[in-house]
């Protein structure tokens, strides 16, 4: 297909213009510029034509039955709220992401596609949809915002599932409580939107955004995503859920189960996480056990912060850096989620194509990275640390002294503060994220390749020198073998680290897609053998990851399956999500456990 570099780039949707998934007006210029850079690196249309009869049907559902079911759903919800997926598949971009398939496909884009999208406007609508799905045994795939890029986007694991797009019509911030420092949100509230609503409220509160602000606050928390302030563990800082179960009951967790006076919400729903009895919130995170329609989230009282960057000269400083960081973090001298990145990411986050640095095939050689880094703000170094200190100006200065003296044990360390770096340096964007202001900068890595797409490899390891070395060595070796540049980011907590490896590939290339998936499969296996597992993964790798959590003959997976079968006897809710399959799918080849086939669907299934 012809490149469309000369075409003008359509402007991004704006949040205030009634687009829940849009960009705030004040970030629109940045977003349009970022999009233009991506368009410059586009060498194919990003639109995939469809094959065969449409829409793609869910397994075991005949077309006549499907059409009758859809007619009924249209009657139940209003025809305008049910949309059949029968158009060409447009990959779009971050702000115009599709809810029809995975924009960053690893297989054929036609593989993990939905049959339709349905847009509920209320919890009652969600109940209606769930009961309808049980009647017809049609699988549902709920999404909040449907971003989750690098992990499958909005795509359903089972072809032909109906995407329940919660965010489009359920996107209100229902409450902000300035005394309890909390809020109550619906699935369609992005970090961009929550930030704007908090600002509008005038209350002195801060939110905790992840690297990109377009994701759903609710969706990110229940997928156990991470941000960078002291409240960076999003699931740990949620408080209270409203959930529609797979058979259409509505429950509220924690204190929400105790009715407030005269029918009001319970006044401690967003204040005390546990309520009474078993703490069930956990089973609605990274699962297919319920559809979360409301979530409470704690907010941080506004505070001063100082974001800084420290560069360490040698790649081999790595283990010593990790030890020092742990010491600072377990003592809570650093109380947020700092990042440690390899210097190559300073090149990538400029938004330039790798060709501008290096025009050879395979990995960019270390001396080429060095040559370019030497001319940049970071200078010739191995690792770059982005941290942030919080509190009163005095407390910040005191902590900074300790951080400086600890890091100075590594010869050649350099500290840089926002005032020291050019206006377009990434440190400023980091400082905003750490101060609770959602950003869009992190997307720049995608320009590394033409038609840049990414896949996250996200293992957890202890914040300790030997473990960190073992995990990074696996990533180094496998990336070398498969010819990908290695982009490691450690998101660090006191006791463990999330290593996020961003595999950037050209999605117009079958070969790159195959190598990306082969590389991640190998890293998952090798890490598991060494005792390290992923905290989150792409929908097509969920089975492999879930099966690495195999202690005592995979007894935990069997426990999940028991819960699944009890809660969802018809197996309608997000089959295969997080590697959990309903009974009727099990043992028929749905599980994607290793290399081999390049489709999500088994050849023979009795469904």
Report the residue closest to ligand EUG, judged by CB: 226
Q: Considering beta carbons, is residue 102 or 442 the nearer one to ligand EUG? A: 442
Q: Considering beta carbons, is residue 140 or 325 the nearer one to ligand EUG? A: 325
Euclidean distance between CA atoms 308 and 417, whole angstroms: 5
Yes or no: say if 281 and 255 are a contact pair by the CB < 8 Å rule.
no
Instruction: Specify whether 370 is catalytic.
Output: no
Q: Considering beta carbons, is residue 130 or 433 the nearer one to ligand EUG? A: 433
Q: Considering beta carbons, is residue 157 or 536 the nearer one to ligand EUG? A: 536
**How many residues bind ligand EUG, per CB under 6 A?**
10
Q: Which of 299, 491, 503, 572 binds ligand EUG (CB under 6 A)?
A: 491
Instruction: Specify whether 276 is catalytic.
Output: no
Yes or no: say if 487 and 342 are a contact pair by the CB < 8 Å rule.
yes
Tokens matching residue 211 = 């690297």
Helix (H, G, I), strand (E, B) or coil at 527: helix
Q: Considering beta carbons, is residue 238 or 536 the nearer one to ligand EUG? A: 536
Give the footprint of ligand EUG on residues 519-578 (CB under 6 A): 536
How many degrees, rounded to 5, is the angle at CA 93 between CA 522 and CA 427?
75
Tokens matching residue 400 = 């900074």
Q: Which of 115, 229, 253, 489 binds ligand EUG (CB under 6 A)?
A: 489
Helix (H, G, I), strand (E, B) or coil at 426: helix
| Contact call for residue 443 and ligand EUG (CB under 6 A) | no
The single residue of 354, 507, 536, 577 carrying the catalytic annotation is 536
Q: Considering beta carbons, is residue 430 or 564 the nearer one to ligand EUG? A: 430
Euclidean distance between CA atoms 574 and 564, whole angstroms: 11
Q: Which of 144, 350, 458, 537 binds ligand EUG (CB under 6 A)?
A: 458
Shortest reach from residue 454's CB to ligand EUG, in Å:
9
Instruction: Specify whether 274 is catalytic.
Output: no
The single residue of 228, 386, 535, 585 carrying the catalytic annotation is 535
| Contact call for residue 584 and ligand EUG (CB under 6 A) | no
Q: What is the largest CA-CA distance in the chain?
A: 72
Question: 63-77 vs 123-136: helix axis angle to the nearest 10?
Answer: 160
The contacts of residue 275 (CB under 8 Å, 6+ apart) are: 253, 254, 255, 256, 257, 258
| Contact call for residue 456 and ligand EUG (CB under 6 A) | yes
Helical spans, DSSP H, in 281-425: 318-330, 344-348, 366-374, 393-407
DSSP 447: G
Q: Which of 111, 125, 196, 211 binds ligand EUG (CB under 6 A)?
A: 211
The single residue of 151, 191, 195, 482 carrying the catalytic annotation is 151
Yes or no: say if 605 and 575 are a contact pair by the CB < 8 Å rule.
no
| Contact call for residue 186 and ligand EUG (CB under 6 A) | no
Helix (H, G, I), strand (E, B) or coil at 243: strand
Shortest reach from residue 226's CB to ligand EUG, in Å:
4
Q: Which of 442, 526, 534, 543 binds ligand EUG (CB under 6 A)?
A: 442
Q: Which of these, 243, 241, 244, 245, lies nearest to 255 by C-alpha position?
A: 241
Active site residues: 151, 535-536
Residue ranges in contact with ligand EUG by CB under 6 A? 211, 226, 442, 456, 458, 489, 491, 498, 500, 536
């Amino acid at each position: 297909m012809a490149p469309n570099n000369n075409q003008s780039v359509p402007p991004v949707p704006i949040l205030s213009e009634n687009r829940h998934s849009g960009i705030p007006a004040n970030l629109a210029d940045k977003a349009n510029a970022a999009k233009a850079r991506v368009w410059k690196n586009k060498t194919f249309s990003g639109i995939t034509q469809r094959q065969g009869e449409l829409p793609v049907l869910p397994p075991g559902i005949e077309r006549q039955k499907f059409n009758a079911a859809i007619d009924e759903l249209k009657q139940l919800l209003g025809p305008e709220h049910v949309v059949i997926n029968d158009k060409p598949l447009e990959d779009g971009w971050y702000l115009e992401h599709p809810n029809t398939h995975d924009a960053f496909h690893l297989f054929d884009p036609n593989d993990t596609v939905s049959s339709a999208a349905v847009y509920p406007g209320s919890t009652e609508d969600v109940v209606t949809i769930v009961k309808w799905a049980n009647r017809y045994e049609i699988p549902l795939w709920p999404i909040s915002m449907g971003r989750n890029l690098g992990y499958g986007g909005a795509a359903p694991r089972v072809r032909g599932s109906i995407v329940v797009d919660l965010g489009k019509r359920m996107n209100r911030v229902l409450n902000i409580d300035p005394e309890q420092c909390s809020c109550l949100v619906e699935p369609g509230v992005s970090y961009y939107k929550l930030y704007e609503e908090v600002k509008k409220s005038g209350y002195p509160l801060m939110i905790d955004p992840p690297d990109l602000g377009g994701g759903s606050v609710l969706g990110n928390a229940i997928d156990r995503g991470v941000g960078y302030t002291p409240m960076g563990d999003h699931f740990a800082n949620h408080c209270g859920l409203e959930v529609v179960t797979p058979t259409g009951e509505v429950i509220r967790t924690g204190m929400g189960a105790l009715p407030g006076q005269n029918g009001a919400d319970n006044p401690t729903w967003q204040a005390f996480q546990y309520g009474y009895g078993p703490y069930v919130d956990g089973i609605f995170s990274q699962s297919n056990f319920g559809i979360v329609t409301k979530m409470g989230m704690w907010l941080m009282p506004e505070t001063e912060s100082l974001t800084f960057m420290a560069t360490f000269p040698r790649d081999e400083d790595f283990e010593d850096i990790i030890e020092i960081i742990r010491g600072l973090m377990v003592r809570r001298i650093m109380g947020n989620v700092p990042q440690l990145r390899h210097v190559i990411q300073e090149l990538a986050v400029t938004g330039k194509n790798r060709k501008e640095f290096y025009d050879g095939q395979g990995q960019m050689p270390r001396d080429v990275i060095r040559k370019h880094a030497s001319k940049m703000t970071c200078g010739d170094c191995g690792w770059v640390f982005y941290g942030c200190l919080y509190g009163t100006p005095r407390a910040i200065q005191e902590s900074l002294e300790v951080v400086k003296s600890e890091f100075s044990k590594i010869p050649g360390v350099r500290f840089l503060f926002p005032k020291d770096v050019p206006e377009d340096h990434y440190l400023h964007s980091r400082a905003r994220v750490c101060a609770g202001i959602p950003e869009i900068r992190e997307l720049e890595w995608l320009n590394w390749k033409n038609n840049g797409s990414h896949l996250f490899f996200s293992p957890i390891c202890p914040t300790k020198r030997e473990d960190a070395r073992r995990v990074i060595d696996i990533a180094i070796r496998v990336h070398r073998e498969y010819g990908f540049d290695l982009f490691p980011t450690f998101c660090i907590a006191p006791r463990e680290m999330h290593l996020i490896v961003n595999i950037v590939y050209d999605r117009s290339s079958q070969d790159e897609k195959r190598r990306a998936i082969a590389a991640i499969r190998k890293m998952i296996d090798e890490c598991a053998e060494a005792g390290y597992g992923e905290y989150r993964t792409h929908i097509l790798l969920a089975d492999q990851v879930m099966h690495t959590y195999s202690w005592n003959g995979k007894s935990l997976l069997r426990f999940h399956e028991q819960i699944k079968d009890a809660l969802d006897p018809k197996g309608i809710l997000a089959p295969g999500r997080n590697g959990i399959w309903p009974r009727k799918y099990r043992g028929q080849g749905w599980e994607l456990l290793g290399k081999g086939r390049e489709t999500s669907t088994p050849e023979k299934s009795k469904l």
